[in-house]
Amino acid sequence: MAVHLRQIEGVTTGLLPQTAKTFDYLQSQVGGVWIRYSADAAEICQPQIEVILTYYGDRYGNWETLSK
């Protein structure tokens, strides 16, 4: 998903570490993802980001916003 988002010009992403105390093969091994883009690019980037997040959210579950 992060790589998919990076295909949008001006968007950078990164992965956050998992913070769970115990390892579970059935859970995500990533704690989260950060998404960054400039305010100037927001008008173009934001709708494309929403489409991609909706695509993955429909398949793997809802997203939770940690901070803005």
Tell if the pTM clears 0.85, that is, is over it: no
Residues 5-62 have pLDDT tens digits of 999 999 999 999 988 888 888 777 888 899 999 999 999 999 999 999 999 999 988 8
Structural domain contains residue 68: no
Structural domain contains residue 65: no
For residue 68, pLDDT over 70 is answered with: no
Structural domain contains residue 44: yes
Domain around 6: 2-20+29-60
Whether the CB-CB separation of 11 and 37 falls below 8 Å is answered with yes
Whether the CB-CB separation of 47 and 16 falls below 8 Å is answered with no
Number of neighbours of residue 44 by Cβ within 10 angstroms: 14
For residue 67, pLDDT over 90 is answered with: no
